[in-house]
Amino acid sequence: MAAVMLCQIDKGKQLKMKVAIVGATGEVGRMMITCLEESNLEISELDLFASSRSAGTVLYYTDQPIKVQELKQDSLLKHYDYVLFSAGAGVAKTFAPIAIQTSEVVIDNSSGFRKEPNIPLVVPEVNGDLLTGYSGIVANPNCSTIQIILPLAVLDKLFNLKKLIVSTYQSVSGSGHQGIVTLLNQRQGKNDKGVYPHIIDLNVIPQIGGFLDSGYCQEEEKMHFECRKILNKWDLLVSATTVRVPVIYGHSVSVYAEFENEVDIPKSEKTLQNSPRIVYYPNTYITPLDLGSSNETHICRLRLGTDEKSLTFWNVGHNVRLGAAANAVNILITHSKYSGRL
């Protein structure tokens, strides 16, 4: 079971921060609270917001009870150093512009701002330099994009990535808590499809999001765009097939990558082993059940693809941690370092 790891913090240099979380009672919102606890940040004030249905819920931060407030039009008019959103694109589009009027940085986990040209889409270990001197909205990428882009950025620097073909095996928690409920209900014999177009128990569904005119579904199109934007390689050829599988936590991805230059397996292995937030397995493989509370991306079965200019590997990551909450908190930490708060 892999250990929890977030960006390292020098506690002696910290300034206390005011932080808010919107969507705090959801699957990712609760994990954001956990990741903030694990980061050892000095937070002087933590406000939690959710819909009227969840308002009044008591959650805990470092064993201290915090009552969740209802999100209203004036909720975010006070100053925060950071506001974390995990409440869907519609809520983010409505409330993030309000929050940014009085707060320094808004970090949004939804797809609402990822395509905006002037809003950075950030995985700190890959393009965290975009946060230097920045204030405004920061977009947190799609879960599957985050876990593959960490090793791909490393390999791109070595061999110059030009084509990417991926197939994902995405857990039901990627659909939020209702995805988990749907699977567990079906495992108990209920035939309600829940949040999915087909039964997910003992099945796989090759569709995540609606289908587009291109024949790709929304999740696939997200991966196409986001890989290009994060790597700043707009001519990158990408084809994704995204599949929902009956796993509670942990997304898996089969990756095939082609490069301009001939690849070197030993060099690839050594570089991956020495890269942040990557765990490399040279002689075995990892499954979603092995992830535990890991905030890293896990790479195994690295091998040549169709020729000496291509690689294939298996990739597993905790979608609620690495693919959402932990990356959002690492964006916060990275920005805090650049801004002198840490």
Backbone angles phi and psi of 247, in degrees to 5 = -120, 140
DSSP 74-133: TTT-S--SEEEE-S-HHHHHHHHHHHTTTSSEEEE-SSSSTT-TTS-B--HHHHGGGGTT
Strand partners, 217: 211
Element (H, E) at 29: helix 27-39
Q: Please measure the distance between the N-terminal and C-terminal CA atoms of the chain and give it in whole angstroms.
A: 30
161-170 and 310-317: which strand pairing?
A: unpaired
Place of tokens 């009956």: 246
Rounded Cα distance between 97 and 76, Å, is: 10
- C-alpha distances out from residue 303 to 41, 94, 99, 144, 146, Å: 40, 46, 47, 21, 21
Secondary structure (3-state) at 339: helix
Catalytic residue chosen out of the listed positions 7, 143, 217, 227: 143
What is each CA distance from 16 to 5, 11, 322, in whole angstroms?
A: 21, 10, 25
Active site residue 35: no
* Residue whose tokens read 């690492």: 330
Which member of 251, 298, 318, 335 is catalytic? 251
Asked about 224 being catalytic, the answer comes back as: no
Residue 309 CB partners (closer than 8 Å, separation 6+): 159, 258, 259, 260, 261, 262, 263
Beta carbons of 105 and 134 less than 8 angstroms apart: yes
Catalytic annotation, residues: 143, 251
